[in-house]
Amino acid sequence: MAIAITFTPKSMTAAQFDEVHRKLAAAGAATPAGRTYHLCFGSDNRMRVLDVWETLEQFQKFGETLMPILTQMGIDPGTPDIQPLYHVRNG
């Protein structure tokens, strides 16, 4: 079952978000299997992230690469809000 995951870090800037993605790309994880949608939104130091994943297991596998990067950068992602998807429509 597809899931939506929202992260609301206590503090994350756009520059930090960009650096996380540079590090993910260097680790070969910029476009992980199973993630079908990814966006970052917010302002100043209150950036948030919304992902859509095909399965929880794929998200958890990605977390094995993501979490050490966030820890290294001092970013606390907070507790992710994980919800099953009911309906998706483009446009």
- The CATH number covering residue 56 comes to 3.30.70.100
C-alpha dihedral over 44, 89, 1, 76, to 10 degrees? 0
Give the pTM: 0.91
* pLDDT of residue 88 exceeding 90: no
Domain that holds residue 7: 3-84
Give the mean pLDDT of 9-30.
96
User: How do 3-7 and 48-53 pair as beta strands?
Assistant: antiparallel
Task: Name the pLDDT band for 91 (thresholds 50, 70, 90).
Answer: confident
- pLDDT at position 1 is 86
* pLDDT of residue 89 exceeding 90: no
pLDDT in tens, 31-86: 999 999 999 999 988 999 999 999 999 999 999 999 999 999 999 999 999 999 99
Domain count along the chain = 1
Domain contains 44: yes
Domain contains 91: no
